[in-house]
Structure 1
């Protein structure tokens, strides 16, 4: 038997990503991730409620620095992430193919679309103020100016079916505007999200801006929806029944909620629909002549 035939592969250990570090779940739990043909792919960490609370703490800690960065700088950082995603294109294509049962050519097309989508959102970083803000006409010797500001900590439930393109489509618009995120990966297809965390960790993105959890969506989402320090929640990865439960929990501290579409087309032109929901409008009055 040749040495190559006798060699055992080094299996990858996937971990959570919280506060710029890669912890295992505090519960020590994992769950099996299988592909479209029920083939075992990996063991993913099964995040707990405690992990969710830790992720919120990390996101809140990172919010001041990230929201205070210039829009141009945030765009540069997101573009750097796109460069790194391009460099790991083959890895993501393999994970998408295994997770979604696609051919290598179709999964590569999905990855290319996701990278392009990330670049597209990066370009909006210093342009949203032009369409979401402006000077308001008022009666009196005043300037009245409105400008968009980030909402705060956003819980993002990644789409269940589209493991990478859908993931990028919900995460990038949240962070490019200056919010920080607690991302709950697709329950059955979490591997691209967990690998994305490795890219984020080695990019210029500050730790805590994005925190990635994997596990049972309903189990993790419930404490995030009820958490008093979470300002908004994107329900893209929640079914209708779960979305209703989370909306009720989110109402306790008046969280902004973005309801899932019944049949989203993640490949369609996204427009600015996901940029605006997690922005606040600050209006300033200033006397003329001063």
Structure 2
């Protein structure tokens, strides 16, 4: 017994290596850079210097952002072409896998947001439920956003929603998992692909979510997760000609204004950050689902 106890006391622990999630794979930043992540109780403007060190997170570069866009664009045809029912099954599988790693995520959320164990567990449960909620909407949103239009003439006229394409998502800075899921799930539920910029201060739950997505039947490239300096990563995404829309939720007012100006260059669809703090536990409604859909109207002569 004493030998076994001594071995445990002298053994070095194996720390988790956090990586980016791009194209269904887990690369390090192409620059080789990392930055220190601290717990929420001590982390401030000076980062890990003020709190307990948790891990080194990849410091994604502009090149990583461009690689993520390439992966997201490549995944658009397959994901947008899948049936809405199939997308719902995949999102439900994400909820299943996240539920299976509930304890790990509760620890990460507690450290990231400075919550008690019970509150962190409740946040993880809410994130699981949010995936299930959006899974149920995948094959129903078309009935809300589309329909048959009355016209004067011998024609059928139908409006149907279609995905926007590649969406860049700046995740909330203050809600490392539930807020992240709340902005990401509606993007992919409606058939879009996503490039996510995780919370700069608390990226670890987002990077771990990449591991869940990789084992949840989500095709590679549908979701790509980057960590690092929000402004550094978001700037090339806002200006990228192959990004169709951008969610500025996690941007400061000053950064949001600059990114919106850059996004206008190729007429990106932009969702501005809320002027007041968002309650991520509230019923999300269909607003975010409808944001990332475009309407296609088809005329067809009767009797043909």
TM-score, normalised to structure 1, is 0.99
The answer as to 2:17 corresponding to 1:4 is no
Alpha-carbon offset, residue 202 of structure 1: 1.2
Q: Which residue of 2 aligns with 1:285?
A: 299
Q: Which residue of 2 aligns with 1:166?
A: 179
Partner Cα distance (2:273, 2:131) in 1: 20
Q: Which residue of 2 aligns with 1:24?
A: 28
Alpha-carbon offset, residue 86 of structure 1: 0.2
Deviations 1:161-192 (A, max 9, x none): 00000000000000010000000000010000
1:248 is paired with a residue whose SS is: helix
2:119 to 77, 98, 106: 106
Alpha-carbon offset, residue 5 of structure 1: 1.5
The answer as to 2:289 corresponding to 1:275 is yes
Q: Which residue of 1 aligns with 2:194?
A: 181
1:115 to 120, 128, 137: 128
Partner Cα distance (2:12, 2:190) in 1: 45
Partner Cα distance (2:131, 2:21) in 1: 20
2:237 is paired with a residue whose SS is: helix
Length, aligned pairs only: 290
Q: Which residue of 2 aligns with 1:257?
A: 270
2:290 is paired with a residue whose SS is: coil
Partner Cα distance (1:90, 1:260) in 2: 31
Partner Cα distance (1:161, 1:2) in 2: 42
Structure 1: segments with no counterpart, 5+ residues: none
Partner Cα distance (1:153, 1:75) in 2: 19
Alpha-carbon offset, residue 7 of structure 1: 1.8
1:239 to 252, 262, 269: 252
Q: Which residue of 2 aligns with 1:49?
A: 62
Alpha-carbon offset, residue 229 of structure 1: 0.3
1:150 to 163, 167, 173: 163
Q: Which residue of 1 aligns with 2:18?
A: 14
Partner Cα distance (1:267, 1:203) in 2: 24
TM-score, normalised to structure 2, is 0.95
Alpha-carbon offset, residue 8 of structure 1: 1.5
Alpha-carbon offset, residue 197 of structure 1: 0.1
2:287 is paired with a residue whose SS is: coil
**What are the equivalent positions in structure 2 for 1:84-103 lying under 5 Å apart?**
84-103=97-116
